[in-house]
Amino acid sequence: MTQPTKKPTKMNRRKALIGLGASTGALAAGGAFPGAERFAHAQSAAPIKIGFQKHATGIGAAYGRWYGATTDAAVKRINENGGINGRPVEIVVEDDATDPGRGAEVLEKFATQHEVDVAFGTLFSHVVIGSAPRAGELKLPYFVVSEGHHVASGMLNRYTLQPCITDVKSQVISMAPFVAENLGKKVTMIYPDFAFGHDHRDFFSEAIEAQGGEVVAKIAIPPTETTFTRYFPNIPRETEVIYHVMVGPAVLTFVKELGEFFGPNRPELFGFIDSLEAVDIQSPGLEFLEGSYFWEGMPRHAQAGDTEAQKAYRAAVGCNERGASVEDPANVSTYAHMFGCWETLNVIKAGMEAADYQGPADRPKLIEAVEAMSAIPASEDHPQGDKLFNGKTHQVFAQQHISKVTDGTLVVEHSTSIEDGMYEDEVDYTTQTF
Amino acid sequence: MMASRKPLALHLGILALLLVLFFVLPAYHVGAFSRIMVLAIYAMGYNLLFGYTGLLSLGHAMFFAAGMYGFGLTTNLTGFSVIPAFASAMLAAGLLALGVGYLALRTAGVAFMIVTLMFAQTVYLIILYFGTYTRGDEGFVVQQAQRQLAGIDLTTETARYFTAFILFSVCFLAMAKLVQMPFGKRLIAIRENEERARMLGYDVANLKLRAMVISGVFSGVAGASYALLFGYVGASFAGVQYSIFPLLWVLLGGAGTTIGPLIGVIFMFYLIDISSGWTNAYMLVAGIVLVLLTLFAPQGIVGTLRKRGVAWLP
């Protein structure tokens, strides 16, 4: 009930103004916020700082967790082997919340607050597309591990590169010959009704026609859908192969309902493992997938013919034979994609060493050095396999794998050649100025 | 006279401070304030409807998105330059607000919240449905070459800051004037007692519709500004999250105050920015702070200051 008097009010206001002035002064000094301090200059022994734009929260969190683990393992190995140009590598992690708005803010933070040398690690396409303009404006090399076609499409800029994971267009094109020759030529596609699904629809339709096949039905599932049975009667009887790329938490329901709909007499099934990354293939409800086929960028389950480099990589990232955490077998990894972080860090290392990178002023030299890369042979730096980097489109091409679910294990049935996934250049980023 | 001069002095003082901040802040915070000013325009638009008129919308992201896509699509598909594209964005947001307002204002209270939420969800799904043009959830880039105005490259940090500053200043002063005009007083009358306002002879339905359209246009200006200054157009900005944000900003800063939206955006931006440096559970930190503020300062920062003696705060 006590009413404030005039006098204390004036004092409070004065104090508030003094506080405001003091805050402004503090801001001016650059010390009001954590991390606002600047490094004077990169010394020869100062760490190479790499900003890791991590999907720590949001829809990409499962990927973010494993991209983080792979990044840590790769940096540990690089540092144990002498770092980059004799300098240790330091990872600066910021959560982008799997949101493009936040992603752009994170890049700003990397460039102007943490003053990193390069940024890397983003998976989700909308975060890459939302962040890339800022990377170009901030002159910050931005190495993405996204598999989106956005880089090679020419939508982005010279500062954005995807040197270690193939894009969806290449993946899809390379799958068509196997599908047409081994599974069937009449394909029904079931895909989420947003950009990721549309990419599959468009690229695969064209690719299967080139193989003499056809897409007999295109069934788009709205992203808000939680049950799918009502869509299945739209699958034509003549269908020989169902191509599915459902993603998100409803994928288990999708598979279960598909199994209930078809029973034992189903067409061949071909899908992208994106649907089931971080999900145990032996989870209850997924029995229907036995005998079906999946694209994998890198085989999740250990294969009989694994190279020493692949075994070393598996051990380094802490995965067991089934691609789950050694410490917690219930924690299944995103094995088909996360190798991209390991390999991208090695490309950054190779690029910096080729460019004799000393600091941010050498960023254009770093990009030119990466653009000059072409054949990237399989090695411990690149355990996924041989690659061919296109410096003009900033996009890499690599071997892809098709695995069959056999007794609950993903067994590689076919590996494509690099050439299977190649297509005409859509951009030449090297013509853009820095 | 003194009382009427103080708010004007405060508004001009805030603008002067924002101007000075460009020269004294570290680079990161200059970029942050560019973004804050754009988002504050959005918050101001929301505040007109919620804070001054008493209409709680849960779907304002559709107006932000209308501005964003109105700018981005006309730029990308028709080759419009910045000014016509910006005008298209304002028109798109205004027309959408007119249509939605015409239908949604037949409801009130919780029903109005639900109807606006549903309209926003419809807009979101339309963006996904027309993925051929909008690139759906991925969105698209507004290229650097398309973000030039009278020979000025708006993608540089300086041009971005001052463009945001000019847009914010115009909206800030216009809103301050608007709520002081008889129109603004009538909106407040509706908020305080709609039946009494109607009984006094005001055309309440018309006033609410006009408030909705102005609010939508402000939100659209913010969306177009985002596309112009940050070069990205995407469906996530039409999602529920971006309808909740302006509500939080306005509640935090002070509903029904002219400076509250800016204060709310600054507070929320740095709360998330700083707490994300401590923990991945930064939204939990933000949530706890919001709960505490709601408990102990239910009228927001500016509203509480006003209540505790600084009664002239606008």
CA–CA distance, A18 with A11 (Å, rounded to integer): 10
Residues 22-61 of B with CB under 8 A from A: 24-29, 31-32, 35
Residues 147-206 of B with CB under 8 A from A: 155-157
Residue B3's pLDDT is: 54
| SS3 annotation, B202-221 | CCHHHHHHHHHHHHHHHHHH
Residue of B17, B26, B280 with shortest CB distance to A36: B26
Residue A29's pLDDT is: 41
- Classify residue B241 by its DSSP letter: H
Q: How far is B297 from chain A (nearest CA, A)?
A: 16
On the question of a common fold for A48-166+336-398 and A169-296+403-413, the answer reads yes
Q: What is the dihedral of CA A367, A369, A374, A379, to 10 degrees?
A: -100
Q: E strands, A222-297, where?
A: 241-244, 268-272, 293-296
Q: Which residues from A are below 8 Å from B135, CB to CB?
A: 129, 195
CB distance B309 to A4 below 8 Å: yes
The tens place of each residue's pLDDT in chain B, 314 residues long, gives 455 788 899 999 999 999 999 999 999 999 999 999 999 999 999 999 999 999 999 999 999 999 999 999 999 999 899 999 999 999 999 999 999 999 999 999 999 999 999 999 999 999 998 988 999 889 999 999 999 998 999 999 999 999 999 999 999 999 999 999 999 999 999 999 999 999 999 999 999 999 999 999 999 999 999 999 999 999 999 999 999 999 999 999 999 999 999 999 999 999 999 998 888 888 888 889 888 888 888 899 999 998 888 888 88
Q: Which residues from A are below 8 Å from B122, CB to CB?
A: none
Q: Which residues from A are below 8 Å from B156, CB to CB?
A: 137
- Does B137 sit within 8 Å of A194, measured CB to CB? yes
Strands A160-161 and A118-120: unpaired
- The rounded average pLDDT for each run of 10 residues, N- to C-terminus, in chain A (434 residues) is 37 42 42 38 77 93 94 97 95 94 95 96 93 96 95 96 96 95 95 88 94 95 86 94 83 86 89 89 87 94 95 97 95 96 97 96 97 96 96 96 95 95 96 94
Residue of B14, B22, B28 to mutate when probing chain A, most A C-beta within 10 A? B28
Residues 85-114 of A with CB under 8 A from B: 94-95, 99-101, 104-105, 108-109, 112-113
The full set of domains in chain B, from first to last, is 27-307 (1.10.3470)
- Classify residue B79 by its DSSP letter: -
Using alpha carbons, select from B92, B227, B31 the residue that is nearest to residue B146.
B227
Residues 225-254 of A with CB under 8 A from B: none
Residue of A36, A112, A194 with shortest CB distance to B136: A194
Cβ-based burial of A11 (10 A; exposed 0-12, middle 13-18, buried ≥19): exposed
Q: How far is B292 from chain A (nearest CA, A)?
A: 21
Residue A226's pLDDT is: 86
- Does B138 sit within 8 Å of A150, measured CB to CB? yes
User: In terms of residues, how long is chain A?
Assistant: 434
Give the type of residue at A431. T
Domain A48-166+336-398: CATH superfamily, name plus number: Response regulator (3.40.50.2300)
Residue A39's pLDDT is: 33
Q: What is the ipTM of this complex?
A: 0.89
Q: Which residue in chain B is spatially nearest to A157 when comparing CA positions?
A: B143
- Does A99 sit within 8 Å of B236, measured CB to CB? yes
What architecture is the A169-296+403-413 domain classified under in CATH?
3-Layer(aba) Sandwich (3.40)
Residue A286's pLDDT is: 85
A148 in contact with B at a CB cutoff of 8 Å?
Answer: yes
CB distance A119 to A109 below 8 Å: no
Domain boundaries in chain A? 48-166+336-398, 169-296+403-413
Segment A43-81, tens digit of pLDDT: 568 999 999 999 999 888 989 999 999 999 999 999 999
